[in-house]
């Protein structure tokens, strides 16, 4: 009787852990080295030691490497706004949600986020995609506020102000010279916005 032994090529790494993370790191490295437009999915998969098929299990296309976690952030913000006490002012609920995003914008993700932002800044199509992401975050926040009984235009204005705070805090957070954590930057950005309207 013959027994077949199946072996897997470890260079392909099909069954190895953290395929998504490896693909993200490989893509970022290649985008930084060669540019986003010049990098192919095949090259990303090869750099990660995975197959193209594995790439497409995790990402619809090479842009999604940079934007694939946007849904998680939108969900986090919506959940945090929804969990705000009914007595909370709309802006306080949004600021609580932005502060909760510190779970995503932590020290372990800062270097990745800096690299990601540099790649987006260098490509007009990616900058447009980033604006779409921010607009979808504002929509989710506004819809959640409306679900809490906040009328328009207050819900929309509050959500847009929240995204302005988010953008300023994020730009500061990824700045190479910044040493402050996410929550501090959100509070500072809110304080500066309040000064404008004082």
103 and 147: one domain? yes
- What is the pLDDT at residue 2? 46
Domain end position, chosen among 7, 33, 65:
65
Q: Is the pLDDT of residue 115 over 80?
A: yes
Q: Is residue 107 part of a domain?
A: yes
Range of the domain at 45: 19-65
104 and 123 inside one domain: yes
Residue 135: which CATH number?
Answer: 1.10.357.10
Instruction: Report DSSP state, residue 67.
Output: H
Mean pLDDT across the chain:
91
The four Cα atoms 134, 73, 28, 181 give a dihedral, to 10 degrees, of 100
pLDDT above 90 coverage of the chain, percent: 86
76 and 98: one domain? yes
156 with 77, same domain: the answer is yes
55 with 91, same domain: the answer is: no
| pTM of the predicted protein model | 0.85
Q: Model confidence over 19-33: pLDDT tens digits? A: 999 999 999 999 999
Q: CB within 8 A of 10, min separation 6: which ones?
A: 16
79-105 tens-digit pLDDT: 999 999 989 999 999 999 999 999 999
According to DSSP, residue 13 is labeled -
Query: The domain that contains 46 carries what CATH number?
Result: 1.10.10.60
Alpha-carbon gap, residue 140 to 78, rounded angstroms: 6
Token pair listed for 73: 């952030």
């Amino acid at each position: 009787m013959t027994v077949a032994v199946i072996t897997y090529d470890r260079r392909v790494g099909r069954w190895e852990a953290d395929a998504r993370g490896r693909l993200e790191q490989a893509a970022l490295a290649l985008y930084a080295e060669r540019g986003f437009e010049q990098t192919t999915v095949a090259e990303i998969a090869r750099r990660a030691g995975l197959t193209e098929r594995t790439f497409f299990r995790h990402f619809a296309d090479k842009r999604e490497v940079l934007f694939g976690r946007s849904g998680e952030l939108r969900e986090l913000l919506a959940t945090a706004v929804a969990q705000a006490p009914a007595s909370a002012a709309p802006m306080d609920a949004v600021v609580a949600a932005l502060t909760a995003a510190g779970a995503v914008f932590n020290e372990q993700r800062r270097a990745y986020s800096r690299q990601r932002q540099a790649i987006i800044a260098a490509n007009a199509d990616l900058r447009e995609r980033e604006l779409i992401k921010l607009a979808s975050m504002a929509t989710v926040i506004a819809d959640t506020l409306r679900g809490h009984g906040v009328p328009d235009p207050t819900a929309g204005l509050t959500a847009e102000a929240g995204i302005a705070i988010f953008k300023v805090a994020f730009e500061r957070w990824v700045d190479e010279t910044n040493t402050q954590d996410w929550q501090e930057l959100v509070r500072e950005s809110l304080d500066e916005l309040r000064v404008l309207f004082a």
